[in-house]
Structure 1
Amino acid sequence: MTDTTPGTKGTDTLTRLEQEGEIAADYLEGLLDIADLDGDIDMDVEADRAAVSIISEATSRDLQKLVGREGEVLEALQELTRLAVHRETGDRSRLMLDIAGFRARKREQLTEIGAKAAEEAKGTGQPVRLDPMTPFERKVVHDAVAAAGLRSESEGEEPQRRVVVLPA
């Protein structure tokens, strides 16, 4: 029976996201054991999605293997973790995985890129086309542009899809 009490939808969503985080953490702990890597799992809920991070007190070079060049291994692990969650819950997951702070640092860089592109579009009155980006990267830039008071859109086809910052 489903609880239809007013105001419980947010609680249900939070519980579901926490469950996704728990499933993901179990999956990732198994992966770390197989790879014989040390790392602690941190779980949170951010922007209506489960967020799981692998952090380590040891040299971050160990975890860099799980990040890969430009985050390629991290992206693959995120997809595998989402599949593990889907297998357990039957629901598609939007879980976000970070390893050794890679995504957090990338988010800071992308926010700066978005803010600079917004300044340029405001200053020149011309659209600013950025280099192709992953969906995660585009989302961060779109958010930064919106925070600067401008609009942006994506154009092109994967893997050449890019953000275009539009002047006011």
Structure 2
Amino acid sequence: MKEVTTVGQTVEEALQSALQQLDTTEEQVEIDVLDEGKKGLFGLFGQRPASVRVRKKADPIEESTAYLLSIAAQLGVHPDIQVEKTGKHVRFSLSGERIALLIGKRGQTLNALEQLTQLVINRYSTDFIHFTLDAENYRERREETLVALARKMAKKALVTGKPVRLEPFPSFERKVIHKALAENRQVRTFSEGKEPRRYIVIEPKSV
């Protein structure tokens, strides 16, 4: 139940009845006063009850969870979702059978789902929420892979004495590579190209 219409002798009485039925608080609802009511003559004649329509405000996490589950279901996957909320950051962690379908090749499906769900969660939030979507700790494993790649390609650049151009990566993965080599005094990294084909170049500092 997300919306009810109630009556009472006063607006406040009608409101409290609605909150009780919805099992919520006044801060979590939107209120429309349909009729402020009218006291009857001598408390008897012409009396009219007050009425209100009260509906629950959309919850960003509930809405984004439902959206993500609906998309997953269309792919034939029914994951469990663990939600972690820290300040204005929300992290969804997916687990269950056939999770690989939600990750996709090199995380492309997971990245797309993250971007779409980010839009949904902020559509229903008054403050911007930083959203992260993970599945079976894929993000951590992917970061380890990128760090290993960065170090390997840095060595190649030093051995050949020539710049090494990596394949295109999304911006947050490029940041991982830049960070991995930030303290390497023998090479420098920079990005070239335009999204979504932007890539990293690793070159010896002597070049």
Normalising by the smaller structure, the TM-score range is: 0.5 to 0.7
2:189 corresponding residue in structure 1? 152
Structure with the bigger percentage of helix: 1
Counterpart CA distance in 1 for 2:113 and 2:182 is 30
Q: Is the 8 A contact 1:40 1:55 kept in 2?
A: yes
Q: Is the 8 A contact 1:41 1:54 kept in 2?
A: yes
SS of equivalent to 1:131:
coil
CA-atom RMSD in angstroms: 2.9
Q: 2:119 aligns with which of 80, 83, 96?
A: 83
**What is the identity, as a one-letter code, of the residue corresponding to 2:84?**
M
- 1:110-149 paired onto structure 2 within 5 Å: 110-149=146-185
Change in 2 beyond 3 A, CA 1:159/1:115 = same
**Number of corresponding residues:** 141
Structure with the bigger percentage of strand: 2
**What is the identity, as a one-letter code, of the residue corresponding to 1:155?**
E
Counterpart CA distance in 2 for 1:50 and 1:156 is 30
Q: Is the 8 A contact 1:43 1:53 kept in 2?
A: yes
**What is the identity, as a one-letter code, of the residue corresponding to 2:91?**
V
Counterpart CA distance in 2 for 1:49 and 1:116 is 36
Structure 1 residue runs of 5 or longer lacking an equivalent are 1-21
Superposition TM-score, scaled by structure 1 size: 0.67
Report the alpha carbon displacement of residue 99 of structure 1 after superposing the two structures with TM.
1.7
Identity across matched positions, percent: 34
Whose RCO is larger (CA < 8 A, sep 6+)?
Answer: 1
Change in 2 beyond 3 A, CA 1:85/1:33 = closer
1:55 corresponding residue in structure 2? 94
Counterpart CA distance in 2 for 1:163 and 1:69 is 20
Cα deviation digits, residues 22-43 of structure 1 (max 9, x gap): 944x344324554371313142
Report the alpha carbon displacement of residue 64 of structure 1 after superposing the two structures with TM.
2.4
**What is the identity, as a one-letter code, of the residue corresponding to 1:161?**
R
Superposition TM-score, scaled by structure 2 size: 0.56
Report the alpha carbon displacement of residue 132 of structure 1 after superposing the two structures with TM.
1.6
2:204 corresponding residue in structure 1? 167
Structure 2 residue runs of 5 or longer lacking an equivalent are 1-58
Cα deviation digits, residues 98-144 of structure 1 (max 9, x gap): 12222222211111111112222333333221112222221111111
Q: Is the 8 A contact 2:154 2:202 kept in 1?
A: yes
Matched, 1:72 2:113: no
